[in-house]
Amino acid sequence: MRTIRQLFPISSVTKFLNWNRTYAVVTNMVELKWEEKYELIIRNLAECLGAAKLKSILKERDLKLYWGTATTGKPHIGYFAPMSKIADFLRAGVEVTILFADLHAYLDNMKAPWELLELRSQYYEAIIKAMLKSIDVPLDKLKFVKGTDYQLSKEYTMDVYRLASVVTEHDAKKAGAEVVKQVANPLLSGLLYPGLQALDEQYLKVDAQFGGVDQRKIFTFSEKYLPILGYEKRIHLMNPMIPGLMGSKMSSSEDDSKIDLLDNATAVKKKLKKAFCEPGNVTENGILSFTKHVIYSLIKEGESFNVSRTSECGGDISFDKYEDLESAFAKEEIHPGDLKNAAEIYINKLLDPIRKEFEVDSKLKILASKAYPPPQKQKAVEELTPARLDIRVGKIVEVSKHPDADSLYVEKIDLGESTGPRTIVSGLVNYVPLEEMKERMVVILANLKPANLRGIQSHGMVLCASVDEPVKEVEPLRPPVNSKPGEKVIVEGYEDALPDDVLNPKKKVWEKLKVDLVVNNNGEAAWSGNLLLTESGGKLTVDSLKNVTIK
């Protein structure tokens, strides 16, 4: 019921219809026949459940209806979609209640913290009133209600318990599947959500509920369970869903993928620039969708949709009908950049009255900042990539057995450093004869924290291919024959980042990265499928081992 899940769910052909052109102001409207009211109410809806009942009521009196929105994220430009249909309802004499579903916002996986419920309800009321005024919808025909005004009463609470005694877990889950945020271990609150929405129809004393077609499962849930409690089944009116402003390529949950009602002109330009608008694509184009369903519905009689272009691109062009604009875009006669620039002008005109109201009223500014405080800065997460490893080619210039450990060599290894060769201790005695170690070119991990190995401080590690079964074998990696001491080794695809000065042993960077270091089927060293290469482009290899780990 309460969320607009894409940037804007709206009727496929809903029209605001210029108030000065087609209809008089609501307060002075000529009384319509019930048949005319019915057509206004149902036109352009995706579905109407209870059409016969709707006709029956209209023959006797005006309809009573509510639309609800959960006070979670900040309302965005997509909220003009349901407002357009609410304008139709008002023209048809419908008594409309807008429910700010603050309690539902908390129950939907705690999208709105409890301490912010009241502030967010106040913000929603202020912003939606400003939006309705910007499209000339008289507020005296509307009623605004908060969920917590009645949902915490003794009677409502008792009905929640009554409903819980008859609703199955299966039905509660199914009803909320399209609306309540789905998580691996759902909270009980999410199961309560559909039932509370059903009870709202009774406690708001309405004949009908209006929402997007994504609400259908909750609506049918209500039609099944309210009569079980002895309450009347309501009418349900549903708007169709259409692509969001940013198209199917972007998520409406991201800030840059939706335009906030208070975004300034610079922010609007930035977000439209990022919007998905593929040349010739008219089916997944949020800019065209918004132009069709909102901008064209607001264009006055005798006006056109204007697209400004340079003379080199054909000059300015206007379109009286949306179909002509869509056809020109499909033929790639209109460039996406020109379409975005045109839409930008109309969007800013739509938002200007709302922005100005919040700019001149300091209380509204304070309310917005308190209802949606800036997120707390989080600690930057260090990216774990092999670029953090300082791997270099080295040359053993001196080697001897460790005086206090039979399995260890003590090597002096030239890494091309001005301070001279490093002392590195390695456990290669049982795998590589001493004579083969002398003057050998090896590959060194050079930014390990120095470690004391049986009384001798080691300043690095000789990287080796290793296998434990059936017999333990160890072979040092071999750099290309033309390598020089100190030559850097990079992992293909990670060339641009710099290594850590010293790997922090507490964060176990080396331990985490070495899991993906292997000698592949070709006897070449690689990390997660990416080859290890010297600066000159040579590969690191081993003499005989393949498909083994590097340690």
The tens digit of pLDDT for each residue in 12-60 reads 333 333 433 333 334 444 589 999 999 999 988 889 999 999 999 999 9
Q: Which residues, other chains included, contact 311 with Cβ-Cβ below 8 Å and sequence gap of 6+?
A: none
pTM exceeds cut of 0.85 = no
The dihedral through the CA atoms of 322, 327, 331, 333 has a sign that is negative
Residue 59 burial (C-beta neighbours within 10 Å; 0-12, 13-18, 19+): exposed
For each of the chain's 551 residues, which pLDDT tens digit applies?
444 333 333 333 333 334 333 333 344 445 899 999 999 999 888 899 999 999 999 999 999 999 999 888 888 888 888 888 898 899 899 999 999 988 877 766 555 677 788 898 899 999 998 988 888 777 877 999 999 899 999 999 999 999 999 999 889 888 887 776 666 666 787 788 899 999 999 999 999 999 999 899 999 999 999 999 999 999 999 988 776 666 543 333 455 568 889 999 999 998 888 888 889 998 878 888 888 877 887 777 788 999 999 888 889 999 999 999 999 999 999 999 999 999 999 999 989 999 999 999 999 999 999 988 887 666 666 788 999 999 999 999 999 999 999 999 999 999 999 999 999 999 999 999 999 999 999 999 999 999 999 999 999 999 999 998 889 999 999 999 999 999 999 998 888 788 999 999 888 999 999 999 999 999 999 998 899 999 888 999 999 999 999 98
Spatial distance between the Cα atoms of 17 and 24, rounded to a whole number of angstroms: 11
**Residue 280 DSSP symbol:** T
By C-alpha distance, which of 127, 120, 179, 165 is closest to 146?
A: 120
**Neighbouring C-beta atoms of residue 546, cutoff 10 Å:** 14
Whole-angstrom distance, CA of residue 318 vs CA of residue 307:
6
Q: Is 4 left (phi over 0), alpha (psi -120 to 50) or beta?
A: beta
As a whole number of angstroms, the distance between CA 197 and CA 2 comes to 9
> Could you tell me which residues are beta bridge partners of residue 441?
395
Whole-angstrom distance, CA of residue 44 vs CA of residue 242: 13
- Cα–Cα–Cα angle for 135, 136, 137, rounded to 5 degrees: 100
Cα 207 from Cα 237, distance rounded (Å):
11
Closest CA to 426 of 382, 397, 456: 456
* DSSP characters over 399-417: EEE-TT-TT-EEEEEE-S-
Question: Is the alpha carbon torsion for 242, 106, 235, 58 positive or negative?
Answer: negative
The answer to whether 444 and 462 have CB atoms below 8 angstroms apart is yes
Residue with tokens 């004579």: 435
172 SS3 class: helix
> Phi, psi at residue 414, to the nearest 5°?
-80, 120
Distance CA 386, CA 497 (A): 9
Cis, peptide link before residue 470, omega less than 30° from 0: yes
Of 180, 217, 219, nearest to 201 by C-alpha is 219
Place of tokens 């001798």: 456
Three-class SS of 10-63: CCCCCCCCCCCCCCCCHHHCCCCCHHHHHHHHHCCCCEEECHHHHHHHHHHCCC
Does residue 494 sit in helix, strand or coil? coil
CA-wise closest residue to 393 among 422, 426, 428, 429: 422
Residues in Cβ contact with 95 at an 8 Å cutoff, skipping those fewer than 6 apart: 62, 63, 64, 65, 141, 143
Buried/exposed 474-504: b ≥16 CB within 10 Å, e otherwise: bbbbbbbeebebbbebbbeeeeeeebeeebe
Structure tokens at 65: 């209806």
